[in-house]
Structure formats: C-alpha cells, structure tokens
Amino acid sequence: MMKPRRLIAVALLALAALPAAAERTAEPPPLLPEPVVAALARELSGSEARLTVQELSRHHRMRGSRAFRTAAEHVARRAADYGLSGVEILELVADGERFYGTQRSRPAWDADFAELWELRQDGDGGWTDARRIASWELRPITLAQDSASGSATADLVFVGAGTSAGDYQGLEVAGKLVLTSSQPGAVAALAVGERGAAGIVSYAQNQKSAWWGEDKSLVRWGHLETFAFMVSVNQADAWRQRLARGERVRLRAEVRAGRRPGVYAIPTAVLPGADPERRDEEIVFSCHLDHQRPGANDNASGCAAILEAGRALARLVRQGAIPPPRRTLRFVWPPEIEGTIALLNARPQLAARAKAVIHMDMVGGDATATKAIFHLTRSPKSLPTFCNDVAEAFGRFVDGQSYAHAAGVDVPYPLVDPEGGRQALLPRFADFSMGSDHQVWAEGSFRVPAIYFNDWPDRYIHTHADGVENIDPTKLLRAAFLGAASGYYLAQLDDGEVTPLLAVLRRHALGRAATALERAARLEAAEARNLLRHQLAYERGVIDSIAPFAGLGAADREYAGASLELLRQVLGVGGRPSPSAGDGGSDGRICRRQGEPKGPMSGFGYSYLDDRLERRGIERPALLTYRGLWGSGGEYAYEALNLVDGERTVSQVRDAVAAIYGPVPVELVAEYLDALAGIGVLSCE
C-alpha cells in the first residue's frame, strides 16, 4: 500500500498544479486566442436557446411519432435560418424488424386519444363519469409510452409491486384494472397476459435522488406494450386508502394508440471546414431530441444548446470575427441511444469522419429549482483522449469567472444572460458514467472520444414538471460556450499548436495521479501496483491521442516525455502493464471482436446481449451484477468489451477493468467474454 506521507505529498503537488477559483479569475482564457473567446462570449445567447427549449417542450417527442417529426422539422428550419449548411433530416427505417448493428429498431408510436375517468354510482345503481384522472391531450405523460388501443370500465385492484405471483394471492384481477407501484412493463405479463387484467394504472417512481418522493403530486414516465396510465403517488395513495376501507373504486379507460412502421428522423447540419486537408474530419455536436412532454431540461436543453453553439459559430465566421474552422463541425439530433446506434451503423462514414463528440443531455436546469449539478464527464478510461482535458480547461475557466462574478468581482467573462441567473456554475469534473448517447460513440465499435455535459441529479427528470420554467438562460449560455469553445478548438488544432495543450495535460494528469494514489492506498500491493501502472499507461495514451489531430515538434516531444517521467516518479511505477500486473491470474487467451454487429450490448428498449443469450441458452454472466469499489455490473461489462482489442489477453482485460472500477475475479471477466464469444460477438483463443 502507498505510504501515507507520500500520498499526502503527491496530493499536495497535484492540488498545487491546479489554481484556486479566485486565482483563475486573473488568468487569460485557455487554449483559444482571447479574441475568439471574447467573440463567443458576446455572441452566444441563453435567451435565444431558451426559446428553442420552449418550442421543443410543446411536443411529446417519442421516436418515430408525428410530434417528434414536428420537433425535428423545427430544428432543421432553425439550423438553416442560422446559416448552417447541409441541413437535412435523415430517415432510417424503424419497423421492429430492421437491425442496426446491435439495436433492433422500434416501430413508431403515436396516440390519438386517451382518457382515464373515475366513476361515481348514481341513484339508480349505475355509474357515471365523476372526475377525469388522466388525459393524453392535456398531459400526455399520463399515458404510458407504447400503450396499445383498448378500453375498459372496471373496478380497480391494488396488486402492490405486481411483479411476482405472490402479489396476486387471493386477488381476482381478470377484467379489472390493476394499480401497481412498478413500471407497467414489469407487471404486464403477470397481470394482463396470465391473469387477464383489462389494463394497468401505475404510480411507479424512477430516477431516485435525495428529492425522490418529496413531491407526491408528480406524474412520472412509464413504458409498456399493452395499455397503462400513469398517476401521481398522491392519487394512488387516495385510492389505496379507500380500497383498504373496503370501498369500491371504479374507472373508465379508453385508449386509441399504437405502434406502426416508421422511421428514425434525424436532423443534421454542418459548419463546413475550410482546410482542404482537414475538412473531411468532423467534430460532432450531439444530443437526443426525443422525450416526453415537456422534457425541457431532458433534453430540449441539450438540443437547444448545440443549436445555439452552431448559430453563434456560423454567424461569427460569416462576420469574419473568427476564422472558419479547419475541420467540419457537424450537429445531430437523434432519438436517444437507439437513434445514435442506428445512425452510426446506417451511415458508417459519420463515425469514420468523427474525431471527437461533444454530447449534451440536460444542460439548462436552474439549480435552485432542479437541485442539479452540472457535470463535465470524461470518456471511458478504455479510450484515453486529450479531448476531455480541453473541455475541463474551459470548464475551469468558466468556473473561475462565474464564481468571481457571483462574489462581486469584476471579470471580463461572467457569461451571464440578461434574462438569466448570476450564480456560479460550480461544475463537477467527473469520470465516465453511462446513460446517454456518448456511450455509443465511445464504445469499442466506434471509439470516438466523447465529452459529455449533463445535469445530475434533477428532481423533475421524467415527470410532468420538467418544464421551461426551470430552465436558466445563463446556464444554457454557459453550456453553449463550453461546447462551442471546445468544439472550435478541436476543429482548429493542427501541427505546431500543441504546446499550451501539453501544459494543460500535465496539470490535469497530476490531479488524476493524486486520485489514483488515493485509490491505490485502499488496495493490496499487487492490485495497487496494477492500478498505478494502468494510470501511467492511460496518461501515455492521452498524449498519444493528440497524433490524429496534430504532430508534435521536437520540443513538444521532449516536454511530453518529461511529463510522463514526472508521472512515473510520482506514481512510483515503471513500464507498461503486463498479465501479472495485478491479481488477474494467467488466462492467456486473446479475444478479438468480430466485424459485426457494431454497437453496445444494450441499447434502448432492446438488449442484444439478453436476446442472444436467451436464444443460445447461455446463462447471464455474473459480471453483469458484480459490484466493485468504483463501479458495478454494466460498467464492468461495457469496459471489458471495450478493452478487447485483439492484443490484450483475458487476464490483461481483467487487470485493466480492475484498475478502472476495482478488483474483480478474472473468472467473472472470462465468463463474460466467453458468453460474448458464444453469441458471436467475439472469438477467443
């Protein structure tokens, strides 16, 4: 284990390398020339972006739906109005049969009508409508996504979770509506399929945070393939109390909705690169356009922020205020995850051209309302890249400027919108986490570095209260600035321009080294050594990742070498990781990924892994439920597959993923890779 004195000394060294927020206010902007930063700060408008959020949040934007198409057409019109080029809406078949790599397409879904009424008994013993509980027209989130047409006038029966046979003990649910605390899709097979329930009413809670359950009036998003309505906890509690007293609750439900063959409609646009040798390379701005109404922060905000970045950059280029980008800047607005998997498989040239992705998913929430913290999230450790450090450099700059402004200091770049707040941004610089389209771009099939901007937690996510009233124009402005500055820098980076970048990398690497040493102090000697060796290899990979963008001159190579030597001394390790670096055993087999299918093993609404395992009769690998020190389940599995490169042995894959998320038995990694081989994703020998 690391000696405490050495750990403290290194931590102090790393902290000293990063100036405090108050000190950063006096520093010039990083990486970009100050006139470019000044031009972006003047041009970007959070108010303009908020107008886009307001428009998009009017639509219940389910993939393939009429409302999604309306939103896509609005984005395309705005992109053209703002001066972006190559504006089009790509159409990819989505019929439930077509596969795009590992994603089975999902049919389009629309609803024409849906209402749920509570009835009262009249004097003649009949029942009449008393109170409308849910309405598609007024609040579409009250109808569970993918509901099918149906109708019922029936008593309500409470089945608790409704996910096991015991929940139905002593209950007669045939022909009735069942009230459940679970997501509708989790109870449909038992309640509707096996026991003949007429439909489902759910008050399922999701997206847990410290504020989870605080507001019992919220209606949350639900999913299934029969029909179901979503209600608030307050409404469910009132019904449960009446049922417990022996009262009869009778409801009338009517739904006209269903799936149909459709398309993934994906708007895209570009700001063309001006360098003949670089313009076929692209820096991609990504978001996801789909979501329930209103879906203001999730994710109209990300869609609006990348559109605003495009507007500002295009206008500044037209005005001659900034040079045109060398590389092309591309903007895409797909449905979440499934749309990105479909896009990269159907248009492989987009992945081939992409040098980096800036992905925004929830970036506009007013933290005083949503309680969200703004994150700048790094690419997975399996994909070392300097692009993360570019975003972090600009993030620290905005942090310092916005904090000083909030504290009453006169700074040149407070990045405050006239209609927005004045609080500090206070971003969190976070390691990779899953949950949005960035994980598709960075996955081993495509290996495109992805910077991920996101708010978390947000107490209104996936509820009817995720409205435009919780959107802060200042937050949108700052997100757009971070994206525009990072994307423009990456588009401009060329030979002879990496010296300032290397200085940034050295500072950030020392900070990461301190974290690695702190983690190593918790491990046994072999695992600690493994972690630290992999950390050094990661930092070497970060420097190597510059090569596809720009060459290093002799002085830069010398500086980079000195930085790595400093890190080697700080970490107290040498050489590259080997099969015996950790406690990974000696499984010397080498796995290779087959050319197809491309994409992650789990998409949206469909899991390629689970489907193929079931078809082949292979048990689900234990790695998927394993909990480590810094990661669990799907994270281990995601990175284990990413680390398969045709060169690492199974033991080396284990050691690498153990360095990222914490020690894990090599047998679990081997079982998972063997399962992937069993379904044809890998070959291992």
pLDDT greater than 50 at residue 71? yes
Q: What is the pLDDT of residues 547-563, one digit of tens each?
A: 999 999 999 999 999 99
* Residue linked to tokens 């925004």: 360
Q: How far apart are CA 415 and CA 374, in angstroms?
A: 15
State the average pLDDT over residues 591-598: 95
Give the chain's mean pLDDT.
94
The DSSP symbol for 149 reads P
Does residue 306 carry a pLDDT above 60? yes
pLDDT at residue 208 is higher than 90: no
Q: Is the per-residue pLDDT at 12 higher than 80?
A: no
What gap in Å lies between CA 606 and CA 2, rounded to an integer?
Answer: 44
Q: What is the mean pLDDT of residues 581-594?
A: 79
d(CA 117, CA 135): 9
Over residues 387-407, mean pLDDT: 97
* pLDDT for residue 9 is more than 60: no
pLDDT tier for residue 19 given thresholds of 50, 70 and 90: low
Q: Which two tokens stand for residue 584?
A: 């990974």
Per residue in 603-660, pLDDT (tens digit) is: 988 999 999 999 999 999 999 999 999 999 999 999 999 999 999 999 999 999 999 9
pLDDT given for residue 582 in this prediction: 52
pLDDT tier at 580, thresholds 50, 70, 90: very low
Is the confidence at residue 674, as pLDDT, over 70? yes
- CA dist list (Å): 136 to 31, 49, 57, 202: 50, 28, 15, 15
Q: Average pLDDT for residues 416-428, to the nearest whole number? A: 97
CA distances from 36 to 30, 415, 480, 486, 489 (A): 11, 14, 14, 12, 10
Helix H or strand E segment including 344: helix 338-346
**Which tens digit of pLDDT belongs to each residue from 259-276?**
999 999 999 999 999 999
Q: Which of 23-32, 146-155, 452-461 has the lowest mean pLDDT?
A: 23-32
User: CA-CA distance, 264 to 269, in Å (whole number)?
Assistant: 16
Region of 304 on the Ramachandran plot (φ > 0 left; ψ -120 to 50 alpha; else beta): alpha
DSSP 171-230: ---TTSEEEESS-HHHHHIIIIIIT--SEEEE----S--TTTTS-TT--B--B-SS-EEE
Residue 219 confidence (pLDDT): 87
The pTM for the full model equals 0.94
pLDDT average, residue stretch 117-145: 93
Going by CATH, does the domain composed of 108-260 fall within 3.30.980.20? no
Could you tell me what percent of the chain has a pLDDT over 90? 89
What is the C-alpha to C-alpha distance for residues 319 and 328, in angstroms, rounded to an integer?
18
Least reliable range by pLDDT among 7-21, 308-322, 391-405: 7-21
Q: What is the identity of the amino acid at 327?
A: R
Structure confidence by residue, pLDDT tens digits, 232-259: 999 999 999 999 999 999 999 999 999 9
Q: How many residues are present in the chain?
A: 685
The CATH code of domain 32-104+262-492 reads: 3.40.630.10
pLDDT tens for each residue of 307-327: 999 999 999 999 999 999 999
Q: Would you kindly state where each structural domain of the chain is located, as residue ranges?
A: 4-12+501-571, 32-104+262-492, 108-260, 591-684
| pLDDT band for position 122 (cuts 50, 70, 90) | confident
